[in-house]
Structure 1
């Protein structure tokens, strides 16, 4: 087999792993990867005693505020989260998870990126640099170098979000 086919097969395996994890997440918790990421951010910020705003959540998950607003709309429609005006500042929208949202968060399997990050951080620095360089080169070769992307391994949800196009 020629090397370009080997690379394409490896890329396809990565895409397939992300797709399978996305389907598992949806079947077990009823949410997409980006929705889970937002819910985790809300929960973590709440544990610190804060009512997070959409802007704080967006910053924490490396997504635009418009994207987080869209994700929040879907979470509210599912009854998993609520937005309300701030008690101190009525212009500020604060986010909380509902009891159903907390339960979905408990049921959710760990996102694929968490196991990846753990394995990646176990590599030597030179291996990390080699992987980053190689993947950036592949992205460039596929015409994807200038595409905005968040550190979320998800094939659904984000791709359909018009604010990312």
Structure 2
């Protein structure tokens, strides 16, 4: 019985790794094409899209949404600010907090720039029934959670 469980677990692990590898390879190919074709990196486009969606967001909140450390995000924000695509302002009450918003040039860059995902993927996804779109999104979000390194607090919660 234990061998069967182990075999199933290994088969699932192999299938997950193969699927993740295919996704990673497709993302890398698209990311390289974006880098060649545009002035902005995929990460910069992602940052601009999140800020545009939120209207105004703190750097800390943005770091969480784009899965970057504060220090890595700081460099990307400096480049976007130097290109006059976004503005940073200090919070009046908490000077450690920075609020981010897009400038007109940032909205223009998003409007005129490339899609973050390949057009064919967006079209295929849009052609799926709504229930399947929700299922795929839920699966991707759940997979991301499963692969994140557990923090001490979440490990303790899972064990209790």
- TM-score higher than 0.5 here? yes
Alignment partner of 1:107 out of 100, 108, 112: 112
Give the structure 1 partner of residue 94 of structure 2: 89
Within-5 A mapping of 1:15-164: 15-24=28-37, 26=38, 30-46=39-55, 51-112=56-117, 115=121, 118=125
Q: Deviations over 1:17-65 (max 9, x none)?
A: 43113323x1xxx21110011111111111xxxx311110011111111
Q: Note the residue ranges of structure 1 that are not aligned, 5 or more in a row.
A: 1-6, 133-144, 147-165
**8 Å CA contact retained: 1:80, 1:100:** yes
Q: Which has the higher contact order (CA 8 A, sep 6+)?
A: 1
Q: Note the residue ranges of structure 2 that are not aligned, 5 or more in a row.
A: 1-17, 149-160
Residue 18 to residue 32, structure 1, CA distance change in 2 (3 Å): closer
1: CA distance between counterparts of 2:109 and 2:73?
Answer: 18
**8 Å CA contact retained: 1:40, 1:105:** yes
Residue 18 to residue 85, structure 1, CA distance change in 2 (3 Å): closer
CA RMSD of aligned residues (A): 3.6
**8 Å CA contact retained: 2:34, 2:41:** no
Q: Greater helix share, 1 or 2?
A: 2
Aligned length: 115
Give the structure 1 partner of residue 4 of structure 2: none
**8 Å CA contact retained: 1:38, 1:68:** no
The higher radius of gyration belongs to: 2
Three-state SS of the structure 1 residue aligned to 2:57 is coil
TM-score (norm 2): 0.56
